Amino acid sequence: MIAALTLAALAALTAPPTLDSTRPDVVIADFEGDDYGGWKTTGTAFGEAPARGTLPGQMPVAGYLGRGLVNSYHDGDGSTGELTSPPFRIDREHLNFLIGGGGWEKETCLDLLVDGKVVHSATGPNREPGGSERLRWAAWDVRDLQGKEAVLRVVDQRKGGWGHINVDQIVQTDRPKIPQAASRTIVLQNRYLHIPVKTGAQKVRAKIEGEGGKILHEFDVELAPGEPDFLAFADLESFKGKSVTFRVDEVDDPKALEQIVQADHVPNAAGLYKEPHRPQFHFTSRRGWLNDPNGLVWHDGEYHLFYQHNPYGWGWGNMHWGHAVSPDLVHWTELPIALYPHKYGDWAFSGSAVTDHGNTSGFGKDGKNPLVAAYTSTGRGECIVFSNDRGRTWTEFEGNPVVKHDGRDPRLLWYAPGKHWVMAVYDEDEKVKPVRRSIDFYTSTDLKAWTFASRLDGFYECPDLFELPVDGDPNKKLWVVYAADGQYKLGAFDGKTFTPTSGPDKHTLWHGNFYAAQTFSDEPKGRRIQIGWARDVKFPGSAFNQQMNLPVELTLRTTTDGPRMFAEPVAELDALQQDVKDFSHWKNVTPDKLPPKNLQPEFSLPLNLQVPIYAKSMQDMQRQMRDRERKLKSYDACVIDLAFRPIGAMSLNLKLRGTTLVYDVARQDLSCKQVRAFVPQVDGLVRLKVYVDAGSIEVFANRGQAALSIASLPDAGNHSFEVATVGGAVDLEQLKLYSLQSSWPDGGR
């Protein structure tokens, strides 16, 4: 049934017309019913009825009114169809409507037809990866069509990215809802502009313009109309003393720009890394979104971690390269943004970095070897940039792009036997069915001119390629190739072609929240160190979102199935260990509670609650309770070192601040939430090293034979850890609980 809205709900953003402004609005469709009413559908894109918000696999849809809307994402972006209204008479001056989704003319659109011809058409705002599923108001002036009979048609004839359309609240009115442009000019006396952000608010396209209207930065931002969730910041150090203009293309309330302030420090500098959900030993960005690690390299005494970064919002978008450095892979210092987008819509996607030993590129100066990075410029192709100041500033190679193709994510490496560079880069061809996805290999002697060498099919985005000794034997090496999902093959590489030797199937090391990993170039100790993106480890309500996985050392070891990759946390993480509770053989449990060496069936013991209270007064008890709470909180970031032999138990369970990790003896597997991995007993023994942080749990089984990453955001008041058996006994060889100090500046929380 079609329902009318109140005039207050449709208050116009612009001044009302002088003509009869008292005429009520006429709602053509609000899509609140259980079906489309008299609207006719073709194809499969629109389903049988209006959608109730976000559909499976879709980014969150926002900005629609009520509970229903037109959403053609049924079965994803591959579906097509049309939705056509019954005829209606045009008897108001304007048509207002909410629209979002794909921005493809004639393919993802809302059309107004009179006498069978399209007289007005509108699309959503999105054509590039990312974007927002938020619907926005739009309006058509139909004064010249008064009294005519018309039909509305919602069209989805697009497949692929943003191949869908969202529509809601189509209203005849004399009060058009047309978002306004707005601007504010500011004389910069300080380094940073603090920009108010409200996650889920209207996303607007913003520009920061310098003198003469030159665009300094351009990005999408969910500008807070009222109280912000957090403040993002734009670094404008080089423009201090000058005027800049902050301009938005459209905004519901121009007063939002009045909340922009300037300062000489990043927002809430004193509270950084102390936020309630801030991980204490996993890397997260100060503000905004984080994903793929990029450009991992050791150079001039520092480990460099570049990464995909949205500095202006909690969600994906506005891809820049964030930048952090560390002396030890553990304590990171975030630096200013390394790579900005070439222009709006031409984003800085993933890539890699190397030290150009010998200055083969000629980019170096003063006898020093430059840092060289390759990245995907989404509007151009694979591009080269270089730095002669330890990665603090970068210069574009004037010959960019150096490779142009339908792909992304270039990985650079030096192939010493051939004395040339290699670029391993993802490539795809959507014209063939099924779609071809591959890693392509290019070669170069100078990092500027590249020649295609070969192709390896069956891998998807973010490739990595390196050589490892088997069992530490330098005379017995294999090459490893993998892509974003971490599944890998072993084989030989001659500098141009990778030849698999480990069979047709890929092998799996990581399970769960792990994606787009990369390894460090030029690691000073000769190790192969890897960092992945802990995809979908989220921090709702925070100013930051997503985190990196722990840095691990990769090795190749012989197993019964042949050589396989193992991953163990880098030794540097041990420096964070503080207090330890040793439960091995229960030596520290009071005599009256001492169980036998074997943990018996259905036995459960809290690991961190052995803090007795002996109070002589109420004040004394309160003091001791506060002290105990403090001690329990100190173990919120911790590592558990466990080794046991099942001798009849059906399972051993670790309860970690409300999340349960289960080892199933019969299945010989380890599971937590939806993550599961095969973990065989080795000579009857199972070894687990479990890292617990504010947003995740990471488990390394049997000295790195399997690695699990699990998103887990515990309740702030839950500090409990517990070990339990089900259905039989286990023999504990080791059980230690270490608290971990923060790796952040000023000790974190």
Q: Which amino acid is it at 226?
A: G
The whole-angstrom separation of Cα 253 and Cα 14 is 11
Q: What tokens does 87 get? A: 């005829």
CB hemisphere CA count around 55 (13 angstroms): 21
Cα gap 723→649, rounded to integer Å:
13
CA dihedral 246, 249, 251, 253 (to 10 degrees): 50
User: How many angstroms separate the CA atoms of 363 and 395, rounded?
Assistant: 9
How far is residue 322's CA from residue 339's CA, in Å, rounded to a whole number? 7
Cα torsion 18, 19, 20, 26 to 10°: value is -110
Distance CA 591, CA 596 (A): 11
Indicate the SS3 state at residue 584: helix
Q: Is the peptide bond before 745 cis (omega within 30 degrees of 0)?
A: no
749: helix, coil or strand? coil
292 catalytic per annotation: yes
C-alpha 397, offset from chain centre: 29
Token reading at 495:
């500098």
Q: Kindly report the CA angle at 337 between 331 and 341, in degrees rounded to 5?
A: 145
Task: Give kind and range of the element (H or E) at residue 481.
Answer: strand 473-482
Question: Of 347, 332, 417, which Cα lies nearest the Cα of 742?
Answer: 332
Task: In whole angstroms, give the CA distance from residue 519 to residue 532.
Answer: 9
Strands 706-711 and 510-512, sheet pairing: parallel
Residues 6+ apart with CB under 8 A from 504: none
Looking up tokens 């329902």 gives 3
Catalytic hit among 292, 356, 440, 693: 292
Buried b (16+ CB within 10 A) or exposed e, 648-665: ebebbbbbbbebebbbbb
Burial class (CB in 10 A: 0-12, 13-18, 19+), 259: middle
> Strand pairing of 133-134 and 61-62?
parallel
CA–CA gap between residue 454 and residue 514 (Å, rounded): 28
Report cis status (omega within 30 of 0) of the bond before 401.
Answer: yes
CA-based max dimension of the chain: 93
Rounded Cα distance between 36 and 85, Å, is 9
**Residue 10 phi, psi (nearest 5):** -115, 30
- Whether residue 518 contacts residue 296, with contact meaning beta carbons closer than 8 Å, is answered with yes
CB 614 within 8 A of CB 732: no
DSSP, collapsed to helix, strand or coil, labels residue 636 as coil
CB count within 10 Å of CB 434 equals 6
Helices (H) and strands (E) in the chain, counts: 1, 56
Number of CB atoms found within 10 A of residue 34's CB = 10
DSSP SS3 for 734: strand
The residues annotated as belonging to the active site are 292
